[in-house]
Structure 1
Amino acid sequence: MVTELGDDVWWYDLRGVNAYLVDDGTVTLVDAGNPWDGRNLVLGVDQAGYSLQDVDRVLLTHYDFDHVGGLGRLQGLDATVYVGSADEPYLTGKERPPLSNHKGALQNALGPFLNSPALSVETVPDGDEIGSFTAYHTPGHTPGHVAYVSEALDAAFLGDLVRESGGDLRASPWLMSYDTDAVRESVLDLADRAPDFSVAAMGHGTPFAARGRDAFDALADSL
């Protein structure tokens, strides 16, 4: 159910979308797949040598059906959920995504099939430190998209800012983004500000277990 990418970093390949389990002293789930992925998330936690009750933190890169859907299906999870401030109202159900944006309209249509998590939800300021992770605001794919980089784990969790295709990284495309100009600026900003990392863990495609920063910099240089 999970594949080890590096020390204390495991990859869930959830039929078209990725999630990750990490241990930086606190067992952490990064993104949560689709609503039907709950069982596989639990099985992967067990395979990595933990129980669901050991998971104390969930880092969400963004609000999308295939990244938050499993949260409402993890019975027994007692963890704090971290999410970008612009995506928090959609996650908690306080607001609906805007119909005026093509991506927002898609999120709006899928929203009724999601259960808001009955968990503590905290918003993540840019530059915030959560355990070993530093949060980087990377808007564009969604308004509240966040990437998380852990120097201790030598890993960057990039969500849908980028996707892997044919061994390369590509920026989030127009169809799946609120604003592709903002995506480009976010890629360049993260390339400028983030420390080095070997593991590049994105939401779609095959993650990089090594030389992930090289692949990310190659994308930034091409934009």
Structure 2
Amino acid sequence: MTKIAMKPSGSRGNRTLNELSETDLDIAGNPYSVSVLKVGYCVSQPDGSFRADGTITLLTGPKTVLVDTGGPWDQEFLLARLKEKGFEPGDIDVVVGTHGHSDHIGNLGLFPGALVVVGCDISQGDRYLPNQLADGQRYPVDEYVSLVPTPGHTGRDVSVLVSGTCMGAVLVAGDLFERCADEESWRELSENVTVQETNRQEALRTSDVIIPGHGLPFRVHRD
């Protein structure tokens, strides 16, 4: 388990971040439960390239919500994991791509009947729905799940906030956080470090569990 103590800028309190284990990827809740279907990764290679894939998360409750779909190379894996959970692609009500990078939205085509969110675009088929995500306003999926604008990594990132789980409020954060211990890496991947830092601090203030884009979920403990 990774345990990190940090004092956020502009705050009087301390926070401890505890990385969850591979056995803690299913978070029960009422009415929504959260399951990490695949833990994302990002690994540097000797030739200067890196291998990366995004975390894939499933929310089950009044609606079935898939957050990020992995890269196009994940198609068979994603279908198999959904089947293990008892779902076919047509059962998914909402698909969220936290941002437009290929390792997060590579399998959107599997879900033509779903409400599709990519960044600040929300569409049902070819019908695009009005929203104010780009203006900093949340978009409710229902009473318990909402889309939260969290730009910085790109200009149109969104995260998904889930309330009512056994661990409290869970934020499926895309690449707002790369992983639990990402202080040495996230800035070099950010389009706007200042904006992303502000949104990271807000996430740490308001969420009990954060599911990052390229690592295990982690809990946020506040003094």
What TM-score bracket applies, with the shorter chain setting the length? 0.5 to 0.7
Find out whether 1:6 has 2:6 as its counterpart: no
Partner of 2:193: 180
Alpha-carbon distance in structure 1 between the residues aligned to 2:119 and 2:184: 19
Q: Normalized per residue, which structure has more helix?
A: 1
Alpha-carbon distance in structure 2 between the residues aligned to 1:177 and 1:10: 27
Partner of 2:20: none
Amino acid in the other structure paired with 2:67: V
Partner of 1:201: 211
User: How high is the sequence identity, in percent, across the aligned residues?
Assistant: 24
Alpha-carbon distance in structure 1 between the residues aligned to 2:61 and 2:100: 24
Partner of 1:213: 220
Partner of 1:47: 84
How far apart are 1:172 and its partner, in Å?
Answer: 6.2
Alpha-carbon distance in structure 2 between the residues aligned to 1:144 and 1:171: 23
Alpha-carbon distance in structure 2 between the residues aligned to 1:171 and 1:127: 29
TM-score by structure 2 length? 0.68
Match of 2:159 among 140, 147, 155: 147
Partner of 2:140: 129
Q: Which runs of 5+ in 1 are unaligned?
A: 93-116, 219-223
Amino acid in the other structure paired with 2:107: G
Partner of 1:58: 95
Find out whether 1:27 has 2:64 as its counterpart: yes
Amino acid in the other structure paired with 1:48: K
Higher relative contact order (CA 8 A, sep 6+): 2
The correspondence of residues 101-120 of structure 1 with structure 2, limited to 5 A, is: none
Aligned residues: 177
Alpha-carbon distance in structure 1 between the residues aligned to 2:85 and 2:126: 23
Alpha-carbon distance in structure 1 between the residues aligned to 2:182 and 2:62: 30
Amino acid in the other structure paired with 1:204: H
Given that 1:30 and 1:58 are in contact with CA atoms closer than 8 Å, whether structure 2 keeps it comes out as yes
Q: Normalized per residue, which structure has more strand?
A: 2
Q: Which digits, 9 at most, give the CA deviation of each residue in 1:33-74, with x for residues without a partner?
A: 1011111111111111222221111122111111111213x2
Given that 1:21 and 1:27 are in contact with CA atoms closer than 8 Å, whether structure 2 keeps it comes out as yes
TM-score by structure 1 length? 0.68
